[in-house]
Structure 1
Amino acid sequence: MGSDYLTMESEEVKNIFTAIDQARKTLQLAAANYRPFIGPECYLTGEEVCEYLHISPRTLQTLRDRRQIPFTVVSERNILYPESGIRETLTKNYRPTCHPQ
């Protein structure tokens, strides 16, 4: 005669814990890849821009000070950069390398 209560060894309980673990991993992945959207625009953090452009935070600040890249100040220490604006700046300033023949 089978039991009517659940234990940690019950297949139902094991399945629930497996589903919870998968949901946790999915949420962690989503949080790691989150980029804030404002309207149709995707914004990057300063850290993401530095990684994307292979520059230091100080160089990023210099680009901001010289108004060479677009940015939005959300608060005193929170600055966001529009991804399309960064790409546009890269395209505008692209200079092909000359290879001697």
Structure 2
Amino acid sequence: ECYSFATRVHEIMHAIGFFHHHNRPDRDEYLRINWDNISDVHKNDFKKLSAYKVKILAPFDYKSVMLYGPREFGKQGYQIVLSPHKISVVLKRL
């Protein structure tokens, strides 16, 4: 299977120690997690990391390759899981 450039970069970032952007300790300032829309087997993928366990190196980036798309792991594949607090922001992967 051929993965997109963004997916390959995402996986390389994991390999060198980066975590998902939506797991940041401060993510609730930027994102709304719609827990009811997440498939049960993936709810752990959306838990916040403890602030004492991670070092935040950059401001929150809505277009980060380390941020899941708005419907990833949603029930039936179409439910909105992540939504920005600012209406003007569009969640879009590269």
**For this structure pair, what is the TM-score category when the shorter chain's length is used for normalisation?**
under 0.3
| TM-score normalised over the length of structure 1 | 0.25
| TM-score normalised over the length of structure 2 | 0.26
Greater share of residues in helix: 1
Greater share of residues in strand: 1
Q: Which structure's relative contact order is higher, taking Cα pairs within 8 Å and 6+ residues apart?
A: 2
Decide which structure has the larger Cα Rg and report it.
1
